[in-house]
Structure 1
Amino acid sequence: MINPAQTEVTRETYYGISSVEKVLFYFLAAVAILVFLYGLYARFARYTGGDEDSFPRVDELPGRVVSAAKIVLTNEKQFNRDLYGGLMHSFIFWGFLSLFIATSILAFDEYAYGIVMDASFWYGDFYLAYQFMVDAMGLLFVVGIGMAMYRRYWVRNQRLWGRHTSFEDNLFIWLLFILGVGGFALEGIRIYATGMPEFEVVSFVGYGIAMVLMALEPMGMSESLADSMHWWAWWSHSLFALFFIAWIPYAKPFHMLSSFANVVTRDEKAGARLPGIPADLDATNAESIDDFTWKEMLDQDACTKCGRCSSVCPAKASKRPLDPRDVILDLKTYREGLDAGEEPKPLVADGGGVIQTETMESCMACMACMDACPVEIEHLNSFTRLNRQMVDQGDVDSNMQDVFQNVMQNGNTFGDSPRTRADWTEDVDVEVADAREEEVDYLWYVGDYPSYDERNKQVARSLATILDEADVTFGILFEDEKYDGNDIRRIGEEFLYLELAGHHVESFEACEFEKIVCTDPHSYNTFKNEYPEVDFEEFADDPMMPFEYDEYWNADGEVEVLHWTQAVEELVQDGKLALSGTELDYTVTYHDPCHLGRYNDEYEAPRELVKATGCELYEMPRNRADSFCCGGGGGGLWMDFEEEPKPSEERLREALEDTDAGALVEKFVVACPMCMTMYEDGRKTGDFEDDIEIVDIAELIVEALGKKETAGLE
C-alpha cells in the first residue's frame, strides 16, 4: 500500500528530510563549496608563478568567450575524426549541463524567488516541462556515460590507456555514472512513495522505475520500505554530489573548467608562429617548471588524457619515443610533485630528466597533435621551449649540430658555397633576374633544397619555366638568399633563426617587388607568420646579430607572401597559363604538406593545379587537415632514426593500397621540397620504386604546357 496520490502539480523539494537534516545538508554543501573555491584559487594562483606569455591571450575577451562557447557547445572538435566519440561527449556534456541548469533553477526558486516573493514558479506547466526536460537530458547523460564505459572497459580503446591512466580516471567516470543512475533511482522511489501521481508520467524514466517498484509489491515492497529507501537514496546521492563538487579542482574533473579557459585563451596561429625569446642573456628556457608560461601550465591542466594527439602522431606511429600526451602530462605531474615538496630535477636530459632528449628529437613539428586536440592544447609551444633548453645545454643530435654549423658558416643546411646557390639556373632555358638589381613582380625565395639538391633543382627549373610562360617578371636573391630558419627554430636554435630573419628582411627591404613567392611551404610559413612577429629592435644593437634592421617587418601584412601554388593558381585563373585540363591523363594522388595545410589552411590551390593538368586525382584517406607527415619536419630531414615503418613508407603504402584507385595510382604528387626528399627516400627503402613515381606539381604543369625541354627535364 502506498500513499494517496499527490494532486498538486509540483513536488516537495526535501521529501522525507527533517529540518535538522536540512541544516546538516546546508553545512555540508557550504563545506563542499569552500573546498571547491579554495582548490580553484590554488589552481589559478599557481599559474601566476609561470612566465609571461608572448602573445595576447585575453584581448577582445567578449569575442573570445563567444567563439569558445561555440566550440564547446557544439562539441565540434570532439566530432573530428571520431563520430562515436563526438556523440558520446555531446550526450555527457549536454546532459551534465542541463542537469546543472536544472539544479540552479530549483535553487533559485527555493532560495531566491521563494524568499523574496514568498512564492514558487516551480509548479503547473513549468513543473511538467521542467521534469520532462530533466529526464530527457538526464537519460542522454547516462547513455553518454554508458558509451564511455563501453569504449573504455569493453572495447578498451587503445588511446584511452597509457602510463598516466590512473585511479582518478576510473573514479571520475564511475562517479558520473553513480550520479546519473542514482538521480533516476531517487526520482523513481519518490514517485512511487508519493502515490504515483498521474502528472509525473512526464518524468518518464523515473515513472518507469516507479512502475517496477509497484510490480515488486507482492515481493514485499511497501510504503515504509519506500520511505526508507528514499531517505538512503537521497543522502547517498547528495553526498556523492557534494564530494564531486569539492573534488573538481583537484583532479580530472577540473578539465570541465580548465578546458573552456584554454579554448578562450588559445592563439589562433599557435604552431604556425612560435613565442620569441627575450634578448636578456640571463633568461632561461626550461631550466625550471616556472619558465613555462601560465598558458602552458593551463595546457597541462586542460589535458583530458583522451589520447587523440597520440593517435595521430606520426612519430608515435613510427615507434619513435614520443607520445605528445605523455610529454604534457609528464610536465604536469612533475609540477604537482614539486608543489608537494618533491626534489627538482632537469626538465629535459639524456638521463634522469623529466623528459628524455630523444623524445623531443622525435617530434616532426607537424602540428597533427594540436589539430586533433579537442581542448586546444598548444603542444608545439611547450615542445619548442624544451628544444631550446636542449640547445642551451648542448644536448643536440650530432647531425643537427652539423646543420647549425653549415648554416652559420655558409648560410645553407648543405654547407655548400653561397656562390653556387643559383647554379641551378644555368640548366634552364629561362632568364632568371637578379631581384637585387631590378624591379620584379615576384621576389622568389627558392630555398635550400631547390637550390642545392639535384632532385629538387628540377622543381626549381620547372617553376622558373612556369613563371616565364605566364609572362610575369620574377627574380631571386642569388647568394644573398640564405636558409629561411623555420625548422632550426623548431629544433630550438632561436638565435640563429633571428640572424637569418634579420638578414632576409634587410634583403627584402632592399628589393622592389609586388609579392614574395616561396617554393617551400616551410619558408612560406615562416615569412608569413613568424618574421612579422620578431621585434628586431630588441636585437639590432647586439654585436652578435649581423643586421641593423630595427623595426617590425610586415606587421600590417602589406607585403603579400604566397606559396608558389597559390601564385600560379592565380595566374591560371587569370588566363595567363594555357592549361585546358586535358593535357595529362595520369592517375595520381596528392599529399598535403603540413606547413601548407595544417599550418596555413591551404588545401585547394594545389588540387586545382593538379586538376588543371588533366590528371585524375584520387584522395588518400588521410588528406587535408588529417594528412600524415612525411617525417621531414622538426629536423627529421637531417636526423637518423631507426623506425619501422618510416612515415614516408607508410604514406606511400597508403597511397597504393588505401586510395580508391589503389595500385592504379601512377604518381605521388607533392608540393614541398622536404616531402620530395623524404618520399624519394621512402620509395627506395620501402621497395616502391617500381610501383609509383614521386613528382612535384610544378613538374606536372611543365609537362602539361609541353615545356619539359625548356625546364631541362628531358
Structure 2
Amino acid sequence: MNTIAQAAEGRETYLGISDVGYVLFYLLVAIAVTVFAYGVYQRVRRYTQGDDDPFDRVSDLSNRVVSSAKIVLSNEKQFNRDLYGGLMHSFILWGFLTLFIATSIIVVEQYGTEIFLGIVFWEGDFYLAYQFIVDAMGLLFVVGIGMALYRRYWVRNHRLWGRHTSNEDDIFIWTLFGLGLGGFLLEGARIYVTGMPDHEIVSFVGYGIAMVLQAIDLPTSGAALEPATYAAGDYFGANAETLHWAFWWGHSLLALFFIAWIPYAKPFHMLSSFANVITRDEKAGKRLPNVPSDLDATNAESIDDFTWKEILDQDACTKCGRCSSVCPAKASDRPLDPRNVILDLKKYREELDAGGEEKPIIADGGAASAARGTSSDGPSDGSTSVINTETMESCMACMACMDACPVEIEHLQSFTRLNRQMTDQGDVSSSMQDVFQNVMQDGNTFGDSPRDRADWADDLEFDVADAREEEVDYLWYVGDYPSYDERNKQVARSLATILQEADVSFGILFEDEKYDGNDIRRVGEEFLYVELAGHHVETWEDCEFDKIVCTDPHSYNTFKNEYPEVDFEEFADDPMMPFDYTDEWNADGEIDVLHWTQAVEELVTEGRLDLDGTELDYTVTYHDPCHLGRYNDEYEAPRELIRATGCELDEMPRNRANSFCCGGGGGGLWMDFEEEPKPSEERIREALEDTDAGAGVEKFVVACPMCMTMYEDGRKTGGYEDDIEVVDVAELVVEAIGAEDEANLEIAAD
C-alpha cells in the first residue's frame, strides 16, 4: 500500500474530486433542490384547493409541534401491537435523522461558520465524537432497513401487500438501503486511501471495511490527498482511489435522486406524516364534522368536497396496513379495507389532477368490487365509481383503524363523508332506510310506539321517577335496546335496581326519550341526527338534574362529545326541525355525562352499594365496547365493578384499545352481511379458546346493549349456546348485591 498518511483528526470532504467534478456536483445539487421545492409547492398548493376543515387544526401550534415531535421521535404508535415493527421503524428513523443532521453540520460549517466566522469545529474531539455517532446510528439505520427488507420480501408480511403495492415501494426501500450501505463503503474506501489513520478507529464500521480492503491488498496510486489530484486515468484504473471516486459519485447521485424524488412518491410521507400528526384532532372519530344547514352543500360529489386535512391524510398514508390488520370488517371478509379506501381516493385525485376522467366518488361498482372480482351494474352512466357502496356499508365505525394508524390518519372523517353522500344519493340499504323511517315516525329504531318506551319498568317492585316532573340526581337515558329489546330490558331492570339500592334519585324521560342518533349519524343521516339532538337538549333544558347517565356507550359518546358540537342556531329556523333551541349545549362541559359503569363505580367507591368482592365466584371475561373504550378511554370502571362482585376476570388477548368490535356499530346492527366468521362469533371463540381459562370461562361480560344483542346472536349462530353465557356487568352487580328478585331476573330465562 503506497499512500500519504493523514495524521490530523479530520478529513477532506471532497477527497479526490476535481474542480470540474465539484462544479458538476453543485449544479446537480441545485437541480435536485429545485425539483424537490417545486414538488413540495405543488403538494401544498393542492391542499389549499381542498375544502375548509371544520376544526381548528393549527391552534396552539408550538405545543402541537412539541407533542407531535414526541410522538414521532418516540415511535410510540409504531410499537403499538408490533414490537418488531416499532424497533425496525425506530432504527430507520433515528438513523436517518442522525445522518441528515450529520450532513447538515458539514453544510453549516463549510458554507456558514468557516466562511463568515472563520470557525472550524469539524476537527479534533468534535470530529471523533461525530464520526463515532454517525457510524453507530448509520449502522442502526442499515439494520433497520435490513429488517424491513426481511419482513417485506422474505416473510412477505401480509400487511405490506395489496392492490396499492407498487414499484415505488421497492424503489423507496432499496434506495434507503443503497444510501446506508453506500455511505459505509465510501467511508471505508476513504479511510483506506488515506493510510488508515489511527484516529479513524472511531469510525468502526468504515474502519472495518477499510481493513477488508487492506486484507485483499487493493493497490493505491500513491497520489497526494488533495481534491483535484486523482489523475483522469486513475478513475478507470484498478486501485483504491478509483473505487473511492466511484463510491463518492454513486452515493452522491443516489442521494440527490432521493431528494428530488421525495415530493413525488412514497418518501413524501416523511414530511406529510409529521404534518398530519401536528394537525390531528384529539377528538377525531368520537366527534364528527357537522353538515352545513345549506341543503345545496355537497359531501362527496367530487374530490374537491374533501377538506385539506382529508387530502393530507391521503398523502400521509405509508401503506403499512396496520389499519387493515385490525379492521373487524376485513377480518370478517366484508369488502372494506381502510387502507384501500384512503389510497383509492388518493389515486383518483392524482389521476384527476393529471387530466384523468371524472367519475362518481361513491356508487355501486367501485374499486373494491373490481379488486374482489365481483360484477356490478355501476352508476347509470356506465362508468365505475371510486368507492363501492358495499364497502362503506361494511364499516363498523369501531375506530380500530384510527387507533392503529401510526400517522394519525382520521379514517372516520373521510368515511363519514362518503356515507353522507350515499345517504344523499339514496344508496343506503333498504334495512337502513327502514331504520331511518322508524326513527322519523316513532323516535326509535324498532318502529314501536313511543308510549311503550318505559314498559320495561312495569315489572320492577318500585316506581321509576319521571325526570320531567321532579328533580333528580341522575337523568338516566335508557336507550332504544334496553327499552324495547326483551333481552336488554333485563339489563335496564338490573341497572334500575342497582341505582335504587344505592339510594340515589334517578329519573327517565318516558316517551320524550328518543333514539340518541349516534349510529345513524355514522351511516350518514346527519339531518335526522340534528333533529334528535335538538329534541333532547330542549327536553333536558326543562328538567332539573345533576348528571346524565347512559346505558349505552353509543349514547354516552354522542351526548358527551357530539351534542356540544352542534350549532343548533343554524338549524332552529328550519321548519323541518322540531325545536327552537338556539344555544350551544354543554359546550363548557358543565353537565357531567357518564356511562352507567362510571356512575355505579363511583357509588361503590363511596360505599353506597354492599359489595366486598366475595359474593360471586364465576370465571368471566370482559369485552371492551368500542364507544366506551377506544372512543372514550374508559377501561377500568367496568373491570372494577366485575372485580367488586368477586368474579375472576380473565382478559382476552385483544382487550382495551385492542378490543375487537362486536360488529354492531356503524349501522351493522341493522344490516345483514355474508361473512365468515361473524365478528361476534370470532370474539366468543377467542373467549373460549385464547384466554388463559379457555373453556373454563363461564360468562362473557358486556357493557353495551348493542354488544349484548350481537353476542347473543353470535352465541347461537356460532354454536356456543351450551358453552358460555352472555351477561351485562349490571346483571353481575345486581346478583352480587342479592337483588335478583327485585330486578325480576328470572324474566331473562323466559
* Range into which the TM-score falls when normalised by the shorter chain: over 0.9
Alignment correspondent of 2:447: 415
Alignment correspondent of 1:619: 651
* TM alignment of 1:669-688, pairs within 5 A: 669-688=701-720
1:610 aligned to 639, 642, 650, which one?
A: 642
Give 1:121 shift. Answer: 1.0
2:613 aligned to 576, 581, 598, which one?
A: 581
Q: Is 2:28–2:256's contact at 8 Å kept on the other side of the alignment?
A: yes
C-alpha distance in structure 2 between counterparts of 1:636 and 1:22, whole Å: 64
Would you say 1:512 and 2:535 are equivalent positions? no
Q: Is 1:656–1:663's contact at 8 Å kept on the other side of the alignment?
A: yes
Q: How many residues align?
A: 713
Alignment correspondent of 1:700: 732
C-alpha distance in structure 1 between counterparts of 2:66 and 2:122, whole Å: 31
Provide, for residues 68-91 of structure 1, a one-character-per-residue CA deviation record: whole Å limited to 9, x for no partner.
000001000000000000000000
Would you say 1:690 and 2:732 are equivalent positions? no
Alignment correspondent of 1:20: 20
* TM alignment of 1:200-219, pairs within 5 A: 200-217=200-217
User: What amino acid sits opposite 2:148 in the alignment?
Assistant: A
Alignment correspondent of 2:518: 486
Give 1:118 shift. Answer: 2.9
* TM alignment of 1:173-322, pairs within 5 A: 173-217=173-217, 225-322=239-336
Alignment correspondent of 2:116: 116
Would you say 1:463 and 2:477 are equivalent positions? no
Alignment correspondent of 1:453: 485
Alignment correspondent of 1:156: 156
Provide, for residues 563-605 of structure 1, a one-character-per-residue CA deviation record: whole Å limited to 9, x for no partner.
0000000000000000010000000000000000000000000
Alignment correspondent of 2:368: none
Q: Is 1:444–1:517's contact at 8 Å kept on the other side of the alignment?
A: yes
Give 1:119 shift. Answer: 3.9
Sequence identity percentage: 80
User: What amino acid sits opposite 1:184 in the alignment?
Assistant: F
Provide, for residues 436-462 of structure 1, a one-character-per-residue CA deviation record: whole Å limited to 9, x for no partner.
000000000000000000000000000
Q: Is 1:630–1:679's contact at 8 Å kept on the other side of the alignment?
A: yes
C-alpha distance in structure 1 between counterparts of 2:9 and 2:537, whole Å: 75
Q: Is 2:397–2:522's contact at 8 Å kept on the other side of the alignment?
A: yes
C-alpha distance in structure 1 between counterparts of 2:53 and 2:121, whole Å: 48
Q: Is 2:517–2:533's contact at 8 Å kept on the other side of the alignment?
A: yes
Give 1:691 shift. Answer: 0.2
User: What amino acid sits opposite 1:213 in the alignment?
Assistant: L
DSSP-derived class of the 1:442 partner = strand
C-alpha distance in structure 1 between counterparts of 2:214 and 2:561, whole Å: 68
C-alpha distance in structure 1 between counterparts of 2:11 and 2:542, whole Å: 80
DSSP-derived class of the 2:507 partner = strand
Provide, for residues 288-336 of structure 1, a one-character-per-residue CA deviation record: whole Å limited to 9, x for no partner.
0010000000000000000000000000000000000000000000000
* TM alignment of 1:24-39, pairs within 5 A: 24-39=24-39
C-alpha distance in structure 1 between counterparts of 2:527 and 2:406, whole Å: 33
Give 1:4 shift. Answer: 2.6
Provide, for residues 39-72 of structure 1, a one-character-per-residue CA deviation record: whole Å limited to 9, x for no partner.
0010010011111111110001011001100000
DSSP-derived class of the 2:547 partner = strand
Alignment correspondent of 1:532: 564
Provide, for residues 673-694 of structure 1, a one-character-per-residue CA deviation record: whole Å limited to 9, x for no partner.
0000000000000000000000
DSSP-derived class of the 1:637 partner = helix
Alignment correspondent of 1:629: 661
Q: Is 2:2–2:220's contact at 8 Å kept on the other side of the alignment?
A: no
Q: Is 1:214–1:221's contact at 8 Å kept on the other side of the alignment?
A: no
Provide, for residues 1-28 of structure 1, a one-character-per-residue CA deviation record: whole Å limited to 9, x for no partner.
2313211111001000012211111111
Q: Is 1:348–1:354's contact at 8 Å kept on the other side of the alignment?
A: yes
Q: Is 1:314–1:629's contact at 8 Å kept on the other side of the alignment?
A: yes
Would you say 1:364 and 2:378 are equivalent positions? no
Q: Is 1:517–1:561's contact at 8 Å kept on the other side of the alignment?
A: yes
DSSP-derived class of the 1:636 partner = helix
Give 1:221 shift. Answer: 6.8
Alignment correspondent of 1:347: 361
User: What amino acid sits opposite 1:648 in the alignment?
Assistant: S
User: What amino acid sits opposite 1:106 in the alignment?
Assistant: I
C-alpha distance in structure 2 between counterparts of 1:679 and 1:468, whole Å: 28
DSSP-derived class of the 1:683 partner = helix
Scaled by the length of structure 1, what TM-score is found? Answer: 0.99
C-alpha distance in structure 1 between counterparts of 2:707 and 2:584, whole Å: 31
C-alpha distance in structure 2 between counterparts of 1:276 and 1:644, whole Å: 35
Q: Is 1:272–1:600's contact at 8 Å kept on the other side of the alignment?
A: yes
Alignment correspondent of 1:400: 432
User: What amino acid sits opposite 1:51 in the alignment?
Assistant: D
C-alpha distance in structure 1 between counterparts of 2:119 and 2:241, whole Å: 27
Alignment correspondent of 1:332: 346
RMSD between superposed Cα atoms in Å:
0.8
Provide, for residues 275-296 of structure 1, a one-character-per-residue CA deviation record: whole Å limited to 9, x for no partner.
0011111110000001000000
DSSP-derived class of the 2:546 partner = strand
C-alpha distance in structure 2 between counterparts of 1:166 and 1:583, whole Å: 59
User: What amino acid sits opposite 2:354 in the alignment?
Assistant: A
Q: Is 1:2–1:194's contact at 8 Å kept on the other side of the alignment?
A: no
DSSP-derived class of the 2:32 partner = helix
Q: Is 1:2–1:192's contact at 8 Å kept on the other side of the alignment?
A: no
C-alpha distance in structure 1 between counterparts of 2:462 and 2:48, whole Å: 59
User: What amino acid sits opposite 1:580 in the alignment?
Assistant: D
Q: Is 2:652–2:691's contact at 8 Å kept on the other side of the alignment?
A: yes
Would you say 1:385 and 2:399 are equivalent positions? no
DSSP-derived class of the 1:602 partner = coil
| Structure 2: unaligned runs, 5 residues or longer | 223-233, 365-377, 379-383
Q: Is 1:440–1:512's contact at 8 Å kept on the other side of the alignment?
A: yes
User: What amino acid sits opposite 2:585 in the alignment?
Assistant: W
Give 1:431 shift. Answer: 1.4
User: What amino acid sits opposite 2:361 in the alignment?
Assistant: L
C-alpha distance in structure 2 between counterparts of 1:713 and 1:281, whole Å: 49
Stretches of 4+ moved more than 6 A in 1? none
Give 1:429 shift. Answer: 1.2
Give 1:430 shift. Answer: 2.2
User: What amino acid sits opposite 1:215 in the alignment?
Assistant: A
Q: Is 2:219–2:240's contact at 8 Å kept on the other side of the alignment?
A: no
Q: Is 1:590–1:617's contact at 8 Å kept on the other side of the alignment?
A: yes
Give 1:222 shift. Answer: 6.3
DSSP-derived class of the 1:441 partner = strand
Would you say 1:133 and 2:133 are equivalent positions? yes
